[in-house]
Chain A
Amino acid sequence: QVQLVQSGAEVKNPGASVTVSCKASGYIFSTYFLHWVRQAPGQRLEWMGWIDAGRGNTKYSESFQGRVTITRDTSARTVYMDLSSLRSEDTAVYHCARGGDDNWNDLDYWGQGTLITVTS
């Protein structure tokens, strides 16, 4: 079965960077896109970007341009999301999600989420 297992919660200082990982199993890793979506307390879900796990191409939301980088390690079947210049508003649960068979922007399976807390 498809599984996306994310790295654990982290606490960061403002201005720092964070890397969240998402390890995939149960499907052919290189044939799907992986997205990152975050959910800040009391806010709606917010899409951050995707990576084509096969080609390595990426697309980012303009809201995060210059601060977010998504990469992948095909041998480890793992996708990484780096977010830099952290501020308190970046405190949120970060999810990876797989793009679906029908459309790569249809998010069919999700990781369990990783809480990132930004505090001084």
Chain B
Amino acid sequence: DIQMTQSPSSLSASVGDRVTITCRASQGISNYLGWFQQKPGKAPKSLIYGASNLQSGVPSKFSGSGSGTDFTLTINSLQPEDFATYYCQQYYHYPLTFGGGTKVEIK
């Protein structure tokens, strides 16, 4: 199975900050990577697909980059509604696998 490793596992940030989360795959996955946001008690929400494509309706403050094994999610101008847990997911090879999550908390 392809292992997905996210870092950091948690971070504290202030409103207005720019935040970067990284995701590393245990083998190359081209650009078959998605990013999700999840708030407590809610379903995950898709933000990014194909490593860098914004899902419909997702604000442009979210951006993704990377290819192969190393990927990043950047959130510009952090707002209160952005405090959540973020997950990456590879869909290059079965079984589909997810990162362990990055919890973004208010400083």
Contacts and interface: CB of A to CB of B under 8 A. Distances in A.
A22 to B, nearest CB: 11
Nearest to A48: B95
B18 interface: no
A100 interface: yes
B91 A102 contact: no
A97 B36 CA distance: 12
B95 A106 contact: no
Contact of A108 (B42, B55, B101): B55
Chain B: interface size category: 20 to 34
B94 A59 contact: yes
A97 B96 CA distance: 13
Nearest to B34: A106
Interface of B: 32, 34, 36, 42-46, 49-50, 53, 55, 87, 89, 91, 94-101
Contact of A45 (B49, B50, B53, B98): B98
Contacts of B89: 45, 107
Contacts of A95: 43-44
20 contacts: A35-B96, A44-B98, A44-B99, A46-B98, A59-B94, A61-B95, A95-B43, A95-B44, A100-B49, A102-B49, A102-B53, A103-B91, A105-B32, A106-B49, A107-B44, A107-B46, A107-B89, A108-B49, A110-B45, A111-B43
